[in-house]
């Protein structure tokens, strides 16, 4: 990339992973960051453990079908906390605003953020507001950080997938990214495509209760989509995945939009879905609990973990064929979140 940051570095793919490990992990050098999960777990002074996470939001447009940058910022941070099994507690909000931004939009976004936080049971306890000159930002960027309380005895981590484990997906993929792209390209479909942006902490609570120690890890397939998430997990656990295309829920309208936009739903970001890896003994109970929750109604077992030195994600396609699902295939989708 010629010694410069390019859009691929922000796409959730291999270029980003290399940037994080080559620059940030080395510079910040500590075992918490090296856990390599979407959140860091650490012991708290009085006993017990907490987690911390952060995300920047640069989504364009700021308002999109199914949400806005404010609700998205809450959902994304709540979800990265929840993927560890922790109970989300408090969030921070850093606003970077471009000069000239309409105060009415700022209020609408802050109100939406507050509503999303209340609905998810978290409080935004601290914030910051910076203004940069016209042309030096793009309306509004929000960075949230969040902390949560980790129950004793839970040890979910991306390095825990083992051959034989079952891979579960909570619902249809591609909704968020396609909603953003469609609204950006001004596409209209018969069935409106809404972002799936949602707080998953309630679903996670039900999953932990149902599967107990059988649950090995959870991750939300955001930037880079399901493909990036499975490749990340394969890498982190030193395993391969074998998934069934037919088992992966994709809404017909999302499939149609992907066709039109030249996207593969496997690479498209989600903001209200999760992937879980569970030992076979816990899979049925987990799926039942997920399906009983509104945000997991279409939960499906989509494949298994396999031994694979090359850490490939292999997918069985329609007529018994197969292909390798790489995390760099498909278009780069900047500003999706």
Ligand X SMILES: Nc1ncnc2c1ncn2[C@@H]1O[C@H](COP(=O)(O)OP(=O)(O)OP(=O)(O)O)[C@@H](O)[C@H]1O
14, 63, 65, 114: which one binds a copy of itself (CB under 8 A): 114
In this structure, are residues 140 and 62 in contact, taking their beta carbons and an 8 Å threshold?
yes
Q: Which stretch binds a copy of itself (CB under 8 A): 97-105, 235-243, 296-304, 308-316?
A: 97-105
Site for Mg ion in 73-112 (CB under 5 A): 76, 80
Is the C-alpha dihedral spanning 83, 85, 88, 89 positive or negative?
Answer: negative
Residue 114 is a binding residue for ligand X (CB under 6 A) = no
Are residues 139 and 98 in contact, defined by beta-carbon separation less than 8 angstroms?
A: yes
Q: Which of residues 28-87 bind a copy of itself (CB under 8 A)?
A: 28-30, 32-33, 39-40, 42, 44-48, 50, 52-58
**Cα–Cα dist 170/144, whole Å:** 24
Residue environment code for 281-293, b if the CB has 16+ CB neighbours within 10 A, otherwise e = ebbebbbebbeeb
331 sits near a copy of itself (criterion: CB under 8 A)? no
Q: Which stretch binds ligand X (CB under 6 A): 30-38, 64-72, 184-192, 279-287?
A: 30-38
Q: Is there binding between residue 21 and a copy of itself (CB under 8 A)?
A: no
Compute the distance between CA of residue 216 and CA of residue 281 in angstroms, rounded to an integer.
12
Of 124-132, 245-253, 300-308, 314-322, the segment contacting ligand X by CB under 6 A is: 124-132
If the CB atoms of residues 141 and 312 are measured against a copy of itself, the closer one turns out to be: 141
Q: Is 46 helix (H, G, I), strand (E, B) or coil?
A: coil
Q: For ligand X, give the closer residue by CB, 8 or 36.
A: 36
**Among positions 21, 61, 136, 324, the unique one binding a copy of itself when judged by CB under 8 A:** 136
The site for a copy of itself, by CB under 8 A, has a size of: 82
Q: CA distances (Å), 240 to each of 19, 231, 296, 302, 312, in order?
A: 23, 8, 25, 14, 5
Q: Using the rule CB under 8 A, is 149 a contact of a copy of itself?
A: yes
* Interacting residues with a copy of itself between 178 and 197 (CB under 8 A): none
Q: Which is nearer to ligand X, 8 or 285 (CB)?
A: 8
Q: Is 128 in the site for Mg ion (CB under 5 A)?
A: yes
- Whole-number Å distance between alpha carbons of 54 and 40: 10
**CA gap 336, 334 in Å, rounded:** 6
DSSP-assigned states of every residue in 275-311: EEEE-HHHHHHHHHHHHTSGGGTT-EEEEEEE--TT-
Report the interface residues with Mg ion, using CB under 5 A: 38, 55, 76, 80, 128, 220
Report the interface residues with ligand X, using CB under 6 A: 12, 20, 24, 28, 33, 36-38, 55, 76, 80, 93, 95, 126-129, 222-223
């Amino acid at each position: 990339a010629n010694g410069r940051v390019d859009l691929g570095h922000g796409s959730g793919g291999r270029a980003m992973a290399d940037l994080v490990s080559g620059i940030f992990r080395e510079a910040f050098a500590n075992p918490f960051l090296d856990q390599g999960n979407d959140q860091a777990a650490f012991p708290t002074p009085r006993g017990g453990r907490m987690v911390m996470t952060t995300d920047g939001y640069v989504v364009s447009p700021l308002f999109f079908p199914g949400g806005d940058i404010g609700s998205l910022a809450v959902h994304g941070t709540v979800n990265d906390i929840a993927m560890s099994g922790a109970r989300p507690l408090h969030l921070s909000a850093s606003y970077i605003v471009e000069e000239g931004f309409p105060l009415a939009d700022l209020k609408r976004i802050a109100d939406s953020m507050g509503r999303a936080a209340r609905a998810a049971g978290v409080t935004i306890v601290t914030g910051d507001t910076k203004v940069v000159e016209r042309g030096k930002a793009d309306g509004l960027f929000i960075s949230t950080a969040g902390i949560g309380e980790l129950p004793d005895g839970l040890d979910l981590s991306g390095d825990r997938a083992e051959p034989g484990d079952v891979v579960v997906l909570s619902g249809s993929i591609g909704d968020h990214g396609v909603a953003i792209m469609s609204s950006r390209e001004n596409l209209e479909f018969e069935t409106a495509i809404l972002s799936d942006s949602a707080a998953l902490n309630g679903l996670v609570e039900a999953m932990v209760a149902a599967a107990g120690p059988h649950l090995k890890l959870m991750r939300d397939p955001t930037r880079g989509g399901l493909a990036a998430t499975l490749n990340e997990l394969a890498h982190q656990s030193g395993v391969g995945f074998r998934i069934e295309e037919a088992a992966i829920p994709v809404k017909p309208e999302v499939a149609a939009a992907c066709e039109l936009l030249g996207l593969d739903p496997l690479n498209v970001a989600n903001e209200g879905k999760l992937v879980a890896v569970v030992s076979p003994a816990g899979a049925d109970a987990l799926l039942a609990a997920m399906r009983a929750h509104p945000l997991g109604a279409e939960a499906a077992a989509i494949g298994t973990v396999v031994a694979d030195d090359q850490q490939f994600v292999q997918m069985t396609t329609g007529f018994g064929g197969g292909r390798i699902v790489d995390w760099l295939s498909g278009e780069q989708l900047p500003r999706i979140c």
